[in-house]
Chain A
Amino acid sequence: MALLRLITLLFIALGLFRCAREVIIDLPDEEPRVVAICHFTEGQHFRANISMSQAVNEGQDPEQPSNVEATLSINGAYYDVLYRVKGDGNDYYWRSHQAKLAEPGIEYALSVRVPGYTSVMAKSSIPQHYSLSPIVLHSEELYVETRNDGSKELRIPLELQLQNLPENERYFAFYLTHDTDVYDDSVVPAEFDHSEEQKPTNFLADGRTISLLHNIPEPVVLINENYWADNRKTLYLTARIPFNPSTDRVTKLYVTWRTLSPEFYKYHLSLSRQSGNIPLSDPDAVYNNMEGGLGNFSGYSVSVDTIDIPEF
C-alpha cells in the first residue's frame, strides 16, 4: 500500500504538467525465440516448460510448439530425450524418462530444437549442498503475540546457521512450513480433531534482512548473496504462526533449505527485481543462460530440517 501511495505521489507531482499521447516508435524487429525453463534437483525428473517468445504487445498466451526435440546430454554424450506430457490445463511440459533422474556433481546440457527457429542450449548442475546446523528450540524461546485485531500469533525465533559458509557463490533460499494439530474445545477436555500439515509460515526479520530477501515465483524465498557479507553465517528470522491457544497446537516447523546454482540464483534474482520495477526507472535485465533463445536451465540442491515445537 505504501508503495502505491509513493508511486501516486510521484505521478501526481509529475501530473501537474503531464500529458500523454500515443506514438509509434520504430522498435527493432525481434523474431520469436525458443524459450525453455527447467529447474532440476537430486532424485527428481527433469521437467521443462517450452514455449516461444512474443512481442511485448502480444495479448495471446504464448505459443507452445508441438514439434520439439529436447535432449539432455552429459559432457556431449546423449543422456535422455524429454517427452511431451499434458499438464493440468491445455499446457504441455517436457520431462525425462523414468530412470533418468538428476544427480549432483554432473553438468547437464539441455538442447531444444524447434524446426524453423534457432536451436537453444544451456548447461547447469546441482551444486554441492551447504546444510544448516541442527536447530533445537526451547520452550522459553517461544512466545505469543496479540495483534491489534485481538488475534494471536505464535512467534518462534529461528537461527538458521550454515555449517560451512562457501568462499563465494553464496546462493541460498529457504521456505518455512508448519504442522498444526487442531482440537475441538467444545468438549472438556478438548479432543483432537484434525491436523493441518505443511502450511506456509510467515516470518519477521530486521530491516536489513528483509531488504535482502526476494520473493520469487517458486515456493522459496531467495536470499541475496550480500546478506552473507562480513562472513555472516546465520539468518535470523522469527516465524509467526496464527494461533488459537484453546484449539491449536503447533507441532512441527519445517525449514526447506536450498543451495542454488549460479544460473538459478541469477535468473530468479533478476525476475524478482524486474517485478519490483517502478515507473520512470530502467527495467531490470533478466538473466538468460539459454544460448540462442531465452529462459533458464538450472539446478539446485535441497534439504528439509524438521523442528519439533516444544510444549510451552
Chain B
Amino acid sequence: MIRLHAVLVGICFLLTNIPLSAQNPLSQNIDFSCQSCTPSEALLRLGRETGLAISFSDRFFASCGNVSIQAKNESVKNLVDQISSCSKVGYKLIGNQLVFFRKTQKRTLSGFVEDAETGERLIGATVRVLSANNLGVISNEFGFFSLKLEEGEQELLASYVSYHSAQTKLNITADKIIHLKLQPNNRLKEVIIPAYSEQEAKERKAGSPKYLNLAELQMIPMPGGEADLLRQTALQPGIQTGTDGLGGLHIRGGNADQNLFLLDDVPVYSPSHTLGLFSIFNPSTVSSVRLWKGDFPARYGGRASSVLDVRTREGNLQEYKAEVSAGLFATSAVVEGPIVKGKGSFLLGGRYTYFEPWVKFFSKKGNLLTFSGDQVRYRFYDSNLKLNYSLSDKDRLYFSFYYGGDVFKNNFGQSFSDEKGFITDNSNLATDWGNSIAALRWNHLLKENLFTNTTIRYSRFFYQSRLGFRSDILYPNGKESQISNYGQLYQTLISDWSGKTDFTFYVSKPLTLRWGVSFTNHDFQPGALSANFLQPGQTEENVDSLASILLNNERLNAEEAEAYFDTEWEPYQHLKLEAGLHGTVFQVKNANYRVAQPRLRLKYEGLRNFTEWIGYHQTAQNLHQIGSFNISLPFELWVPSTRKVPPEKVWQFSTGVSWHSHGWNAQLEAYYKKFVHVLTFISSGDALFTGGAVDASGWEDRIAAGSGKSRGLELLIERSLGKTTGSFTYTLSESNRLFEDLNSGRPFPLRYDRTHDLKISVRQRIFNWLEADLIWGFATGNPITLTGVKFQHESVEGEVARDVFFYTEVNGYRLPNYHRLDIAFNAYFKTGGVKHELQFGAYNAYNRSNPFFLYVDAGSSIKGKAIQFTLLPVLPVFRYTVRF
C-alpha cells in the first residue's frame, strides 16, 4: 500500500514591501541556487525564497535523480520547469499556491475476446476494468472491444455466458491489442445455466437489444425436436405469430415483412421453411442472436419494425470437430476445423428433412384433402459455409454462404364421365423456393480504437412453380383423343448486390461513434407467368423456352443508398445516450425517395438495481412483401416503393424500467407505435390471380396504402440462476389498421392482434445430467372476418343469380383462445471423447385443437356451425445429438 501524502511547504514571511499580488509570482525573476538537491528539496527551497505555497507529493519525483541549479535573474517558471522536468507532472497556480499534479497518459487497450479452445471470437462478451470503477464494454459483432485506460497496472475481467470468466492483470504503458481467451464452462455445457454476472445482467437485460440464449434454444421443446430460432424469438413479450408459428413474426403490431432478418449482416427475404413452421437458421451453426423490437440503433435500416441479427459461428481454429443431430423431421450435421491452425478456419453445416413418412402417415389417417394425391413430396434443406482467415493482427477476412429452400412436388389425377365420354386429367406440380446468401467481409483496425468492416453481399430469394396438365378423353365408340396438354411456369424473384463500410470509433469510454455507408442494387421480378401448349414429347420443363404467353415479365431495378451516424455517449455516470440518424435515398424508375430516420434512447442506471429508459425511433422501408392470405406464403410478392407506392414509415415511442438482483430480472416496458403507408392488396382476389392465372401485372394499381396504430405493455420476469430457472412474460396490446378502401374506411384489428399473450417457461434441473423443460402459452384468439348474412344478387334481366355474403366488420370476430403446453426432457452424457445429448418430450402435450382457420358452414342447418382447421396436434419431440 502506497501512502500518499501532501506536503505544504514554503511559508515565507516576506520582509519585502513588494506586493506579490500585483504580478504573477511565476513571472518574477530571482537568483536561485541548489546543488545536488532532490526535486522535492529544490521545490521546498524555491517556495521559501519566493513566498509561494507549493503543493506536491514526494511520490511524483520518486524516480528522479538529484538536480543542480545555479541561476541568476531567472524566472520562477523556468526554475519550476527545470526542477520538475524529470517527471510527468504538471502544475497550476491557484491564487498564491502552486499545485502539482501527475500528468496521466491515456492509452488505448483494444482486442478480441475469443474461445480459448476453438479460437472463435465471441460476440457480445463483456470486458470490465475492475481497477477503473468497473468501466466496461461489450464486444462487437466480430468479438472486438476497445477501451481508453490510464497508464499503469490495470485489472480486467472478461465474461461471457456459458464461459468461465477470466481475470487478467496488465501493465499498460502504450496502446495495446490483446486477445482475451475464455475457457468454455464444460460443466455448463452439460447442464446449461445462463451465467451472467450481476452487472452484466443488469446491462444486458435492460431494454434492447435482447440477447437470445442459444444454449436454451437447443433445450426448448419444438415439433419433432427441431430447435428453431424464430420460435424461441416468439417467446419474447410483444411478439405475435399466427397459429403454431405460421404467418411470420409480428412484432409490436408490425407486419411480417417489417422485420429485418440478418444472417451474417446479409438481409434474408424468406427466413422460414414450411410456411413458417421452421426457420432457415440451422441452430448448430449460429453463434449469436440479438433482437431489437423497433428501438434499433441507426446503423440498422431497411425495415420498419424490428431487427433480428443472426451471426454464424466461425469454426474451430485449433482442431477438427463435428456434430450430428437427428430429429424426427430432419438431420443436421456440422463439421469445422482449422484451414491454417490458429489463423483460419472453416465451418460447414447442412440440414435435410425427411417428411415423406409423415405425409404418408397423415395420408393414411385421412387428414389430407382428397385431391392431394398419393405422390406428395415435400422437403426443405439448408447449407451453410463459413470461412475466415486472419491476415494480420489487424486484418481478418470472412466469407459466409447460405443456400437453402423448400421443394414441393405433387402428381395428381382424376377421372370422370361427362356427356362426351370418359375424361382423365393428370397434373404434375413442382414448386421450389428459397434463399441464396453470400457475404465477403474484411475487418480492419485502422487504429487501436478505430474498427472498420467492409462487406460485399448478395441476397436472392426465388419462387418458381411448374405445372404440367394433360387431359384425355375416351369416347363411347372406343376412340381416344387428347383434349389438352399444356405447361405453365410462374416465377418471382428478388436479388440484391450491395456493398457497405462501417466504422466504429471508440473515442473514450463515455463516447463511441459509429458511421457507415452502403449501396444496394435491387433487382425485382414481381412475377412472370409463361404457358405453352405442349407438343408430343414435350413436358412442362420446356415451358420457359417455348413460352407463347407471357402475362408479365416486368423487371424492376432499384438503387438504394444508405448512410448513418450513431453515437453512444455517457455524459454522466449511469446516464447513457444513444442517438443517431439513418438516411436513405431510394431510386426506382422515375421515383426518388429520401427518408431521414432519427433514433434516440436515453438510459439511466438508477439506484437499487433499477434501470430506466425512454426512446423515440423513426424507421422506414422501401421494400414490401404484399399478400392477402394471412400467412406468409412464398409466392407473395416482394416489391419496391414506386411512384405510386410510397415508403412505409413507423414511429415508435417506448419507455421501460428493469430490475435485476441475484439472478432475478424483471422488466416492464410500454410502447406506442404509429404506422404510415402500410400496404395491402385491396382484395385477396386482386392479390395474384387474374382470369384463373397467377399474375402480378398491374400490382401497383391493385394495392392500397393505409395506416395503423399499436400500443402495448410488456412484462417479463425471469430467473436465470439456480436449479429452477424460467420466465414469465405477459403482453397486453392492441393493434389496428386503417384503409380507406377497407371496412368502409373504419379502423379494424390487425389479423395478428392478440389482446392478452402469456408465456410461462420453467426449466428444472433434476440431476446433473437431466433437465426438464416446460412451456405453456396462452393468447387471445386471432381476429377473423366472418360473414353474418347473405342475399341473392340477380342481374337486371334475371339471367345471373349468385349469393352475396355480407359482413359488418373486418376482423370483427375472434377465434377461440390459443393455449398449448410443450414438455421436453434433456439428458446429457459422455462416452470417451463423445458428448451425447438426448431430447424427448411432447409438443402440444394435451393435444389442444388450436384454431388455425375457421369458416361458417353454409350448408349446415345448425346455426353457428363452423368448420375449424387445426394445424399441429400433439407431436412427439425427439432429437439425438453427438459431438466429437
Binding site for B on A (CB under 8 A): 1-3, 5-6, 8-28, 30, 32-33, 35, 37, 39, 47, 49, 51-59, 61-62, 87-88, 91, 93, 148, 206-212, 217-219, 224, 226-227, 229, 271-286, 288, 294-295
The 4 tightest CB contacts between A and B, nearest first, are A276-B685, A207-B697, A281-B684, A226-B701
A13 to B433, CA, bound (A): 13
Q: Which residues of B contact A280 (CB under 8 A)?
A: 629-631, 853
Known: A19-B873, A22-B865. A30 touches B788 (CB 8 A): yes
CB closest residue in chain B, given A272: B685
B805 touches A3 (CB 8 A): no
A273 touches B872 (CB 8 A): no
Q: Which residues of A contact B698 (CB under 8 A)?
A: 207-209, 211-212, 226
Known: A56-B856, A286-B806. A17 touches B362 (CB 8 A): yes
Known: A12-B410, A62-B791, A210-B697. A24 touches B864 (CB 8 A): yes
A87 touches B798 (CB 8 A): yes
Say yes or no: is B870 at the interface (Cβ < 8 Å to chain A): yes
A55 to B858, CA, bound (A): 9
Binds A, one of B364-372, B517-525, B617-625: B364-372
Q: Which residues of A contact B376 (CB under 8 A)?
A: 12
Q: Which residues of B contact A47 (CB under 8 A)?
A: 796
B786 touches A217 (CB 8 A): no
Q: Which residues of A contact B691 (CB under 8 A)?
A: 210
A173 to B686, CA, bound (A): 18
Q: Which residues of B contact A275 (CB under 8 A)?
A: 685, 802
Interface residues of B in 666-724 (CB under 8 A from A): 682-695, 697-699, 701-702
Known: A10-B633, A51-B792, A210-B551. A21 touches B863 (CB 8 A): no
Chain B nearest CB: distance from A90 CB in Å? 12
A276 to B684, CA, bound (A): 7
CB closest residue in chain A, given B869: A20
A294 touches B806 (CB 8 A): yes
A274 touches B796 (CB 8 A): no
Q: Which residues of A contact B744 (CB under 8 A)?
A: 285
B552 touches A207 (CB 8 A): yes
Say yes or no: is B498 at the interface (Cβ < 8 Å to chain A): no
A53 to B805, CA, bound (A): 10
Chain A nearest CB: distance from B429 CB in Å? 6
A286 touches B804 (CB 8 A): yes
A280 to B274, CA, bound (A): 16
A294 to B371, CA, bound (A): 37
A284 touches B701 (CB 8 A): no
A281 to B810, CA, bound (A): 11
Chain A nearest CB: distance from B277 CB in Å? 8
A93 touches B798 (CB 8 A): yes
Count chain A CB atoms within 10 A of each CB in B274, B742, B793, B810 and give the residue with the most. B793
A79 to B228, CA, bound (A): 70
Say yes or no: is B641 at the interface (Cβ < 8 Å to chain A): no
Q: Which residues of A contact B629 (CB under 8 A)?
A: 10, 278, 280-281
Say yes or no: is B169 at the interface (Cβ < 8 Å to chain A): no
A35 touches B358 (CB 8 A): no
B692 touches A1 (CB 8 A): yes
A17 touches B872 (CB 8 A): yes
Say yes or no: is B103 at the interface (Cβ < 8 Å to chain A): no
A281 to B626, CA, bound (A): 13
Q: Which residues of A contact B378 (CB under 8 A)?
A: 13, 16
Contacts beyond the supplied A9-B429, A23-B865, A273-B684: 20 A-B pairs with Cβ under 8 Å:
A2-B529, A2-B689, A6-B694, A18-B367, A18-B368, A20-B868, A23-B866, A49-B794, A53-B789, A57-B861, A207-B552, A211-B699, A218-B795, A218-B796, A226-B698, A271-B804, A277-B684, A281-B684, A281-B687, A294-B806
Instruction: Return the CB mask of B426-469 against A: 1 if under 8 Å, else 0.
Output: 01010100000000000000000000000000000000010101
Say yes or no: is B515 at the interface (Cβ < 8 Å to chain A): no
- Provide a sorted-by-A list of 23 A–B residue pairs whose CB atoms are within 8 angstroms: A1-B692, A8-B372, A9-B431, A14-B852, A18-B869, A22-B868, A24-B864, A30-B789, A52-B791, A53-B806, A54-B790, A55-B790, A62-B791, A207-B698, A209-B698, A210-B551, A211-B698, A275-B802, A282-B784, A283-B785, A284-B683, A284-B684, A286-B806
Contact of A2 among B368, B693, B800, B811 (CB under 8 A): B693
Q: Which residues of B contact A279 (CB under 8 A)?
A: 853
Known: A11-B372, A208-B697, A278-B684. A283 touches B868 (CB 8 A): no
Q: Which residues of B contact A5 (CB under 8 A)?
A: 427, 429, 467, 469
Count chain A CB atoms within 10 A of each CB in B431, B682, B789, B861 and give the residue with the most. B789
A27 touches B870 (CB 8 A): no
A-B contact count (CB 8 A): 283
Binding site for A on B (CB under 8 A): 274-275, 355, 358-359, 362, 367-369, 371-372, 376, 378, 408, 410, 412, 427, 429, 431, 465, 467, 469, 488, 490, 529, 533, 551-552, 628-631, 633, 635, 644, 682-695, 697-699, 701-702, 742-744, 751, 784-798, 800-802, 804-807, 810-811, 813, 816, 849, 851-854, 856-873
* Chain B interface main SS type: mixed
A278 to B861, CA, bound (A): 24
Q: Which residues of B contact A281 (CB under 8 A)?
A: 628-630, 684, 687
CB closest residue in chain A, given B554: A207
A210 to B429, CA, bound (A): 25
Contact of A14 among B275, B690, B785, B789 (CB under 8 A): B275
B806 touches A22 (CB 8 A): no
Chain B nearest CB: distance from A251 CB in Å? 25
CB closest residue in chain B, given A38: B796
Known: A24-B864, A224-B701, A282-B810. A56 touches B789 (CB 8 A): yes
Q: Which residues of A contact B683 (CB under 8 A)?
A: 273, 276-277, 284
Chain A nearest CB: distance from B860 CB in Å? 5
A56 touches B467 (CB 8 A): no
CB closest residue in chain A, given B811: A282
Q: Which residues of B contact A148 (CB under 8 A)?
A: 533
Chain B nearest CB: distance from A168 CB in Å? 14
Count chain B CB atoms within 10 A of each CB in A39, A227, A285, A286 and give the residue with the most. A285
Known: A15-B372, A281-B630. A273 touches B805 (CB 8 A): no
Contact of B791 among A16, A51, A57, A217 (CB under 8 A): A51
Q: Which residues of B contact A24 (CB under 8 A)?
A: 862, 864-866
A17 touches B806 (CB 8 A): no
Q: Which residues of B contact A6 (CB under 8 A)?
A: 465, 635, 688-689, 694
CB closest residue in chain B, given A273: B683
Q: Which residues of A contact B431 (CB under 8 A)?
A: 9
Contact of B355 among A3, A16, A273 (CB under 8 A): A16
Known: A35-B791, A207-B552. A17 touches B807 (CB 8 A): no
CB closest residue in chain B, given A287: B744
Chain B nearest CB: distance from A204 CB in Å? 10
Q: Which residues of A contact B854 (CB under 8 A)?
A: 23, 25
Known: A11-B372, A12-B410, A229-B644. A285 touches B742 (CB 8 A): yes
CB closest residue in chain B, given A39: B796
Q: Which residues of B contact A288 (CB under 8 A)?
A: 806
Q: Which residues of A contact B811 (CB under 8 A)?
A: 282
Q: Which residues of A contact B702 (CB under 8 A)?
A: 211-212, 226
B867 touches A20 (CB 8 A): yes
Known: A15-B367, A54-B789, A217-B802. A37 touches B355 (CB 8 A): no
B866 touches A62 (CB 8 A): no
Known: A16-B362, A286-B805. A56 touches B787 (CB 8 A): yes
Count chain B CB atoms within 10 A of each CB in A23, A24, A59 and give the residue with the most. A23
A217 to B803, CA, bound (A): 11
Q: Which residues of A contact B465 (CB under 8 A)?
A: 6, 9
A56 to B791, CA, bound (A): 9
A57 touches B694 (CB 8 A): no
Known: A24-B866, A211-B697, A280-B629. A17 touches B871 (CB 8 A): yes
